Structure 1
Amino acid sequence: MTFRLSSEQEAIREAVRGFGEAEIRPVASEYEAEERYPEELRREAAELDLVAPHVPEAYGGAGMDAVSTLLVTEELWRADPGVGGAIAAADFGTGMIHDYGEEWMREEWLPRITGGETPIATCISEPAHGSNVAGMETRAERDGAEQSSAGSAPPEATQNGDEWVIDGSKMWITNGSVADVAIVMAKTDPDAGHRGITAFLTETDVPGYEASRIDNKLGIRAQDTAEIHLDGLRVPAENVIGEVGHGFYQLMEFFAPARADVAAQATGVAQAALDASVDYAREREQFGRPIAEFQAIRHKLADMATLVETGRAMTYRAGAAIEAGAEDATRLASMAKLFCSEHAVEVTDEAIQVHGGAGYVSDHPVERYYRDARITKIYDGTSEIQRNIIADDLL
């Protein structure tokens, strides 16, 4: 066991940090104020292999291991959770295509995502169903294939050129209004609970797919979040990802690396808040000396740094477990997400306290970090869901 990054991983971290400090930080506040998606910066990042870096080289990616991929996310969020986060989230769904999709899906879409041509959206949550994935109401019905007596076509009919027709609504969808391609989760057997969910691949510039951008979010305002209306969306049967009725199980496998990624996001924004607090404590003077000399401030910084480093260790351990295919990877990913997201909020809150009144206005980035950090406790499974997963594994 090693507790140090390899020389290659160190080089990756430095490269992403350099890009973040040179290209993202100088313009981050502008994108946030305008709630503007960083299309141009995403394309620049793609030229450096920073978009979907885990995708194999055969499909245009860098073929990075799980820990290296988490390093990229951490540094992008350290640069800025809104802009850097939008770049890191451009790949949200590539794992599903790579692991369960047909070869034509990989060849057609993965290079376009890694090359910066388009991000991908994954449509899971609904207005009435967030954590309760199995309760989703979006429906997909087969049209054009011979129906069985039970009202559904046999599995082999998915290769006969027929279509699925999808109706429903999705909510809080990352990249929903800027992606050219999306994965849509829908019930193909409404009476089968989680066993009746199927994943579909669809282009977004087609009849039946309508996206409405969600603005005025608390944080990550440069990231695209949308509500999706699916009204008679027709998807060829060959666009089923994996197997009909197996979408929920595929999704659960997909969530382990996704949750480790959120842990890296939280670590990145917490580190950014710590960095800003250290700099401010050195510069700000009270009673004739820098506030960094006061024990109250020094103890805050020490506690913040300890939480950041603990979270980082948990994140990398989860990444190593995912890379190794370890049995405890899911639990470790949930633990990392839970710890890092909860304490990112704590660290960014303390950063505002260190800055005092200056931290409460947008002249300093810590107020933005505080707002941005809050989402990590919600998406990809709330903190409460992570506790359920961990307890289920223990018991």
Structure 2
Amino acid sequence: MMISKEDKERLIGQSEAADRDPQWPASSWSVLEKTGALRWSIPRAYGGDGLAPVDILIRTEELAASCLTTAFILSQREAGVRQLLKGPEHLQSRFLPALAQGNMFLTVGLSQLSTSRQHLGPSLRATPLESGGFQIDGEIPWVTGADAAAVIIIGATTSDSRQILVMLETNRPGVSIEPPLPLSALTGSRTSLVRCVQVEVPPEMLLAGPAESVLGKVGGGGLETSCLAIGLSAAAIEFIQQESVKRPDLAEIASKLDANRHELRQRLHLFATSPPRDSQEVLTLRADCTTLALRSTQTSLMIAKGGGFVAPHPAQRWARQALFFLVWSCPRPVVEGVLSELTT
């Protein structure tokens, strides 16, 4: 099911509250359930729609343009679904039907494997147990919707520097969820730090590994991070286009930004259908999408002038949310690419 105009308007109408209020955006999440978003990526065999990757990206971009907070929460759930689809069948049959029906919320805690705290060494350790399972100790610094999740797919590092993915049930002894972080944007995502103290995970909950780099070269973000950046850009560019009707001097600016957006979208969809051999191409795309998000949202704020700096004008929210892409799933090649653009 495509996202209806009515559902988009509901998401847009609730987007400021979802961004600022430290409450789970239940009303916006119910819109996702109504649109069928929770079934998009899940195979038909498990009760989902089994949509093609490009179709999912198109719909996800529309969600991000309407409410980035809600789209971000969904992206973390979808990151978990993607990892689950790579795992053993017994875990798929156990969890995918419930996810398709919206009967449980799944999220991920993977940033410590690729971006967060890399200069400090592993923040989450996995110790093998005689049972074949693992004892998990340490911190998971970034878990979106942690206190709403029944299960978190987490990544931990063994003593020989290999990595594993396991499905961590949040009600296990030794798991504690900190209060949500006071983020500068996307507050309704209720992103928290999760602590693990001698948490025993049984062998049947092992999803992947041990392996040298269990998430691959690109890391956990993939194309979906770029998709959300394009969606946020689309909202800002549409505002600039609307303003250009009254102010013709803005027409060329709007045209250039929109052309950039379309070019990035084409690359995104091409990679979804024909993955590039060189992972650097995916990272370059992510850097380019982040740069567009910064440029388009800051341009919209300048055009909106002082009124745009006052809540609830969307320009101030878009500008704050664009900063999120500077820290979310931002490995060194992406950082270098964005810094090159910003300092040229």
Structures share a fold, TM > 0.5? yes
Residues 177-216 of structure 1 aligned to structure 2 (within 5 Å): 177-188=147-158, 190=159, 192-193=160-161, 196-216=162-182
Q: Which has the larger radius of gyration?
A: 1
SS of equivalent to 2:192: strand
Length, aligned pairs only: 337
Q: Residue 154 of structure 1 corresponds to which residue in structure 2?
A: none
Please state if 1:354 is matched with 2:303: yes
- 1:74-85 map, 5 Å: 74-85=61-72
Which letter does structure 1 place at the counterpart of 2:111? S
Q: Which runs of 5+ in 1 are unaligned?
A: 1-11, 146-157, 283-289, 389-395
Do structure 1's residue 372 and structure 2's residue 325 form an aligned pair?
no
Specify which of 19, 36, 44 is matched with residue 32 of structure 1: 19
- Aligned mate of 2:200, from 234, 238, 241: 234
Q: Partner amino acid for 1:302?
A: S
Structure 1 residues 144 and 383 mapped into 2: Cα distance closer, same or farther (>3 Å)? closer
CA distance in 1, matches of 2:114, 2:177: 17
- Asked if 1:61 corresponds to 2:48, the answer is yes
Q: How does 1:327-338 map to 2 (within 5 A)?
A: 327-328=277-278, 330-338=279-287
1:184/1:200 contact within 8 Å kept: yes
Residue equivalent to 1:164? 134
Structure 1 pair 377–314 and aligned structure 2 pair: CA distance change class (3 A): farther
Q: Aligned residue for 2:189?
A: 223
Deviation of 1:240 (Å):
1.1
Q: Distance between the aligned counterparts of 1:202 and 1:262, measured in 2?
A: 24
Cα gap change, 1:131/1:347 in structure 2, threshold over 3 Å: closer, same or farther? Answer: farther
User: Residue type matched to 1:372 in 2?
Assistant: Q
Cα distance in 2 for partners of 1:106, 1:25 equals 34
Structure 2 Cα separation of the partners of residues 185 and 121 of structure 1: 12
Q: CA contact under 8 A between 2:163 and 2:214: conserved in structure 1?
A: no
Asked if the contact 1:20/1:75 (under 8 Å) is kept, the reply is no
**Which moved further from structure 2: 107-116 or 261-270?**
107-116
> Is the Cα–Cα contact under 8 Å of residues 286 and 334 in structure 2 kept in the other structure?
no
Aligned equivalents of 2:128, 2:214: Cα separation in 1: 21
Letter in 1 for 2:242: D
Q: Indicate if the aligned counterparts of 1:349 and 1:370 stay in contact, CA closer than 8 A.
A: yes
* Residue 28 (structure 1) shift: 1.7
- TM-score, normalized by length of structure 2? 0.88
What letter matches 2:254 in structure 1?
L
Post-superposition CA distance 1:337-380 (Å, at most 9, x none): 11101111111000111111121111320110111122123222
- Superposed, 1:48-127 pairs within 5 Å as 48-51=35-38, 53-99=40-86, 101-126=87-112
* Structure 1 position 182, deviation (Å): 0.9
Q: What SS class does the counterpart of residue 297 from structure 2 fall into?
A: helix
- Give the TM-score of the pair, scaled to structure 1: 0.78
Q: Which residue of 2 aligns with 1:312?
A: 265
Aligned pair in 2 of structure 1 residues 131, 335: CA closer, same or farther (>3 Å)?
Answer: farther
CA gap 1:128/1:81 in 2 versus in 1, 3 angstroms: closer
The residue aligned with 2:342 is: none
Query: Quick one: structure 1 residues 266 and 129, their matched pair in 2 at CA, closer, same or farther if it must change by over 3 Å?
Result: closer
User: Partner letter of residue 186 of structure 2?
Assistant: I
What's the RMSD between the two structures over aligned residues? 2.6
Q: CA deviation at 1:143?
A: 3.1
- Equivalent residue, structure 1, for 2:341: none
Q: Do the aligned partners of residues 88 and 65 (structure 1) sit closer, same or farther apart at CA in structure 2, a change above 3 Å counting?
A: same
Contact conserved, 1:52 with 1:91, CA < 8 A, in 2? no
For residues 63-114 of structure 1, the C-alpha deviation after alignment (integer angstroms, 9 at most, x for no partner) is: 1111111112111101011133323432221111111x22121111122223
Given candidates 234, 239, 242, the residue that maps to 1:279 is 242
Q: Which runs of 5+ in 2 are unaligned?
A: 338-344
Change (3 A) 1:263 1:104: same
